Structure 1
Amino acid sequence: MEIRHLRYFEALGNTLNFTRAAEQLHIAQPPLSRQIRQLEEELGATLIDRNARPLALTKAGTFFLEQCSQLLSRINEAQEATRRISQGQRRWLGIGFVPSALYGVLPEIIRQYRLANQEVEVVLSEMTSIQQAEALKAGRIDVGFGRLPLDDPQLHCEVIVEEPLVAALSARHPLLKFKRLRLSQLAAEPFILYPARPRPSYADHVLQQFRTHDLSLGSVIDVNEMQTAIGLVAAGVGVTLVPSSVQRLQRDDVVYRGLVEKDVSSPVIMNVRADNDSTDLLQLRKLIEGLRQKS
């Protein structure tokens, strides 16, 4: 299997049309069809349902498309980083982050770091905590900001802030008559859990909060994105728990309520390679410590 096979399948998987995919790739359609057949033979799996109208991905194809996209993204990142280094361009600092971190302290960390270190190119990559672990060990990023502790001797993890969790409810939800809610009240509602994959993730952290209080969820709706969860909350489909900083995402159809239980929180964790003692990373850590002392 070669990189071109991944690129060919990604184009086909995204268009579900051999003609359009071939045009995007600047190749003829017959060679593309042959390459996809060869890929399926090598994998021992059917990726495309050719009898469907229009074309459709099989379950194996859907999985492989996601893997292709992730692999190609990492390859592109590595190529770009290598190019910058070889050309003697500015130093760079790779930062991975989970989306929910952008509602809290992370934007200010990035802003201040860039102002103080204009000779350093800051490269940002959205990724889950588990993906950050892989990217750190592979050298694709220098620091990650996630919400799960990573149990790996090659990594050093440090909690930089502990955020209370708050309930997100639709603007007409009956529970809004309470100023604060109990976890038991939320457990009795259809609960929107995210992300559905990959796991372990923030979803497992939320489930642990209920287990710690001897509670289990009844009806669970799994989604992949926090924005999707908030949208379903607005539609009255269910309730969810989000870090308190997400309240900055102001919507007139979603209302947030604090919890009676004071110990229900979610950390923002800075993850770095244990052997990374670079000056650029040291400056970032000093900046973060300064912000923590001021808060």
Structure 2
Amino acid sequence: MELRQLKYFLVLAEELHFHRAADKLFIVQPALSKQIKLLEEELGISLLKRDKRNVKLTEAGKYFKTEAKAILDQLELVKSHTRLVQEGQKGEIRIGYVGSCIHTFLPDMLSDLHEAHPYILTYLNEMTSSAQLEAIQNGELDIAFLRNPFPSPNLNHQPVFRESFALVLPENHPLNENNLEDIHQLANEEFILPTRSDGELYYRLQLSICEDHGFSPKIAHETVHGHTVLNLVGHGLGITFLPTSFQKVTNAAVKFIELKDIPQRAEITAVWNKENPNPSLKKFLNHIKPLKI
């Protein structure tokens, strides 16, 4: 069965007149009659009742008309979508991110993408930085938003967001914005910090906040999940440093003191494989604004 036979049949089913249908198809009437006959022979049924004066659809012909039209409509949709995929207008992007992205810059970025390319689907997965890097290398993610990755020759890196750190204390802790004069006042505290295995540079960055003020932190607990850290702090199990934006999204019994005067900043970097052929990724990258230094 050929697609042109379906097209010929649909025109004839609308016109119910061989001569008019042939004219509409820009073919001669015998050629149209031959193709309809071949179609009926392949199906083993009569699609049309015809005599010298009239052409009518059989019951089977009426059913076949409906289904043939659906097939051709679907084919046109596939053709259209295929062009969109080739151009990056339709497709999917698999995105990994650390928790703070979703309450800072990422929703706006996704909104901009959807407005410009409504047929691109995004699949979001909150992951640790180390898991994202592995997924990028394995081709399981198209792009990752993570903290302080080591440069890699086969990956592109683009810093996209930067914010201050905050000291996070239990709600009833005696230190507050008024009496915290120096980070060294925290030298005897127990800290909850990220694991070294999830990101050496981010781990060192947090250590350096203390080291710049003359002491190494006493680490009581390690976890990479911000909301877990907040609950541990709220239960008096230690103190921590977190990106200041976490203050907007927690109900834990904690207080934040923004550390505006230290040089350390919490930074998110977009990472993707240089060889990734996904055309939709290229569209998404156009919506990533370079971070101003």
Q: Is the 8 A contact 1:180 1:259 kept in 2?
A: no
**Is 1:175 matched with 2:175?**
yes
**Structure 1 segments unaligned to the other structure (5+ residues):** 1-86
Instruction: Give the drift of 1:121.
Output: 1.3
In 2: Cα distance, 1:258 partner to 1:159 partner: 22
In 2: Cα distance, 1:105 partner to 1:222 partner: 26
Q: Which secondary structure does the structure 2 equivalent of 1:203 belong to?
A: helix
Q: Is the 8 A contact 1:158 1:269 kept in 2?
A: yes
Deviation track 1:12-58 (CA, whole Å, cap 9, x = no partner) reads xxxxxxxxxxxxxxxxxxxxxxxxxxxxxxxxxxxxxxxxxxxxxxx
**How large is the RMSD of aligned CA atoms in angstroms?**
2.8
Equivalence for 2:36:
none
Equivalence for 1:36:
none
Equivalence for 2:106:
106
**Structure 2 segments unaligned to the other structure (5+ residues):** 1-80
Q: Which secondary structure does the structure 2 equivalent of 1:287 belong to?
A: coil
Deviation track 1:231-266 (CA, whole Å, cap 9, x = no partner) reads 121122221110011111142621100126331211
Q: Which secondary structure does the structure 1 equivalent of 2:287 belong to?
A: helix
In 1: Cα distance, 2:102 partner to 2:179 partner: 27
Q: Which protein shows a greater Rg?
A: 2
Equivalence for 2:48:
none
Q: Which secondary structure does the structure 1 equivalent of 2:256 belong to?
A: strand
In 2: Cα distance, 1:259 partner to 1:179 partner: 13
Deviation track 1:44-103 (CA, whole Å, cap 9, x = no partner) reads xxxxxxxxxxxxxxxxxxxxxxxxxxxxxxxxxxxxxxxxxxx97951111111112222
**Is 1:118 matched with 2:118?**
yes
Equivalence for 2:192:
192
Instruction: Give the drift of 1:186.
Output: 3.0
Q: Is the 8 A contact 1:146 1:270 kept in 2?
A: yes
Q: Is the 8 A contact 1:193 1:223 kept in 2?
A: yes
Determine what percentage of the aligned residue pairs are the same residue: 25
Q: Is the 8 A contact 1:170 1:254 kept in 2?
A: yes
Equivalence for 1:208:
208
Q: Which secondary structure does the structure 1 equivalent of 2:100 belong to?
A: helix
Within 5 Å, which residues of 2 pair with 1:55-70? none
Equivalence for 1:261:
261
What amino acid is the match of 2:234? A
Residues 130, 224 of structure 1: CA spacing in aligned structure 2 closer, same or farther, 3 A cutoff? closer
- TM-score (normalised: structure 1): 0.61
Of 224-233 and 202-211, the range deviating more from structure 2: 202-211
Q: Which secondary structure does the structure 2 equivalent of 1:135 belong to?
A: helix
Q: Is the 8 A contact 2:165 2:260 kept in 1?
A: no
Equivalence for 1:140:
140
Instruction: Give the drift of 1:134.
Output: 2.0
- TM-score (normalised: structure 2): 0.61
What amino acid is the match of 2:281? L
Residues 181, 196 of structure 1: CA spacing in aligned structure 2 closer, same or farther, 3 A cutoff? farther
Equivalence for 2:73:
none
Equivalence for 1:241:
241
Q: Which secondary structure does the structure 2 equivalent of 1:289 belong to?
A: coil
In 1: Cα distance, 2:230 partner to 2:196 partner: 14
In 1: Cα distance, 2:264 partner to 2:219 partner: 20
